[in-house]
């Protein structure tokens, strides 16, 4: 109950004090309940998180809390995500300022499109952020988290970056040019060879004698048609969700 009151008190405070007018349904994408940022840092980060979230229609959020109240980071992160009003698609970084078992907990939770973008890349996201968290460089940590989310969301939604495709094309062209030059050099050395329409010039007269003949079955062509599948299905399940965390 304490965490419910604390979280929604912070949400109400941000709603009343912010200078930017949000639509009624827009969630607060930065909840700094642990008070690790000053007001200017909060404003800058909120603007960035909102910009990325609206660009990809995926909630990218940061939540800091003084304590996990004895719960696991995974359960607490899922609870925060659901109760903060984030949508079916999102990525959220949870940070707890309380030192437990020699470190402070952090957790990256993702859902829907956020799951598709982050699940295979969560270790890279964590590696980019955890160093800043360890050094209490929270602005850098949260800013980097936002950048990482934007990067992987862009790849998931819009495809691989153009530079990757461009590099691949350049590599193929260079390989083709090298192969063409090598084949041309080898072809130039075959000056003693001329085109022949038959093999008579390479056969010794009277050397070919047919002693036996038989038919050999080599292969057969079989055409198969797939059996139509029963495509009837029930209602679909909910959005996929997951996450990963650690100590800092």
Encode pLDDT of 97-151 as tens digits.
999 999 999 999 999 999 999 999 999 999 999 999 999 999 999 999 999 999 9
| Tokens of residue 223, six digits | 């055409």
Q: Answer whether 69's CB lies under 8 Å from 3's CB.
A: yes
Pick the range with the lowest mean pLDDT from 53-57, 124-128, 151-155, 220-224.
220-224
Residue 196 domain-assigned (yes or no):
no
CATH of the domain at 9: 3.10.310.50
Please report the pLDDT score of residue 22 as a whole number: 43
* DSSP label at residue 22: P
Residue 223 domain-assigned (yes or no):
no
Residue 23 domain-assigned (yes or no):
yes
Residue 46 domain-assigned (yes or no):
yes
End-to-end CA distance of the chain: 27
pLDDT tens sequence across 169-218: 767 778 878 877 877 777 666 665 566 666 666 666 666 676 777 766 66
Residue 166 domain-assigned (yes or no):
no
Provide the domain limits for residue 54: 2-160
How large is the C-alpha radius of gyration of the chain? Answer: 32
Q: Please give the Cα distance from 60 to 49 (Å, whole number).
A: 6
pLDDT tens sequence across 6-30: 554 555 444 444 434 444 467 999 9
The number of domains in the chain is: 1
> How many CB atoms lie under 10 A from the CB of residue 152?
22
């Amino acid at each position: 109950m304490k965490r419910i009151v604390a979280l929604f008190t912070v949400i109400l405070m941000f709603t009343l004090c912010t200078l930017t007018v949000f639509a009624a349904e827009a969630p607060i994408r930065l909840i700094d309940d642990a008070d690790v940022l000053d007001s200017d840092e909060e404003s800058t980060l909120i603007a960035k998180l909102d910009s990325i979230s609206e660009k990809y229609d995926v909630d990218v959020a940061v939540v800091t809390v003084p304590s996990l109240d004895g719960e696991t980071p995974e359960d607490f992160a899922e609870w925060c995500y659901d109760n903060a009003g984030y949508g079916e698609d999102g990525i959220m970084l949870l940070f707890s300022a309380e030192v437990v078992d020699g470190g402070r907990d952090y957790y990256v939770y993702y859902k829907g499109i956020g799951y598709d973008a982050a699940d295979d890349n969560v270790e890279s996201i964590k590696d980019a952020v955890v160093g800043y968290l360890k050094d209490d460089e929270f602005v850098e940590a949260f800013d980097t988290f936002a950048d990482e989310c934007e990067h992987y969301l862009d790849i998931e939604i819009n495809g691989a970056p153009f530079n990757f495709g461009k590099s691949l094309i350049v590599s193929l062209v260079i390989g083709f040019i090298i192969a063409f030059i090598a084949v041309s050099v080898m072809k130039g050395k075959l000056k003693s060879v001329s085109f022949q329409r038959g093999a008579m010039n390479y056969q010794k007269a009277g050397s070919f004698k047919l002693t036996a003949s038989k038919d050999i079955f080599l292969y057969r062509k079989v055409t198969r048609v797939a059996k139509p599948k029963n495509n009837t299905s029930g209602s679909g399940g909910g959005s996929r969700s997951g996450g990963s965390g650690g100590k800092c």
